[in-house]
Amino acid sequence: MSEYWDTSCVLKLYTTETDSERALELMELSPKPIILSALVRAELVYVFLRKEGDGQIRPGGSGPLLERFEADEASGKFRLVALGSEVLKRAEQVGRTCLRGERGILLRTLDGLHLATAVLCGCKTIVTTDERMRAGAKKIGLKVVP
């Protein structure tokens, strides 16, 4: 069964983050391909450029990082799922489930789109370190790793 990864964990594969080693271990153990929303690519571009601007990665380093991600996708490690009308429709349902009630989870729009993609792809597990995403995933019945 495929796993869904959000940007918070994919990022750890390409830049030095707190849990980068753990993310690399999880990737090795994950069934392939790992399912990603096409949003991940756009989010990585923004984060890589921000880290480059902040001096966290060397000047010009964002391009090679994105190329590594693209090579991993081409090799079959990842399968990017397009953001289409079915994902948008499912995201509305995810939002209704997560945001309603006195224990509503304040998901952001992109979180809802990620969760909707995971559900539509039949993933039972999501790999994320984002607390809101973790809470939302649990509320809609997904197992959360780590």
In this prediction, residue 69 carries a pLDDT of 98
pTM more than 0.85:
yes
For all residues of the chain together, what is the average pLDDT? 94
In this prediction, residue 4 carries a pLDDT of 97
pLDDT digit string (tens) for 44-56?
999 999 999 999 9
Q: Is the dihedral of CA 86, 39, 30, 75 positive or negative?
A: positive
Average pLDDT over residues 63-70: 97
Kindly report the CATH number assigned to the domain that includes residue 23. 3.40.50.1010
Cα 137 versus chain centre, distance: 12
Taking a C-beta distance cutoff of 8 angstroms, is the pair 145, 19 a contact? no
pLDDT digit string (tens) for 68-126?
999 999 999 999 999 999 999 999 999 999 988 778 898 999 999 999 999 999 999 99
The structural domain count of the chain equals 1
Domain span at 12: 3-145
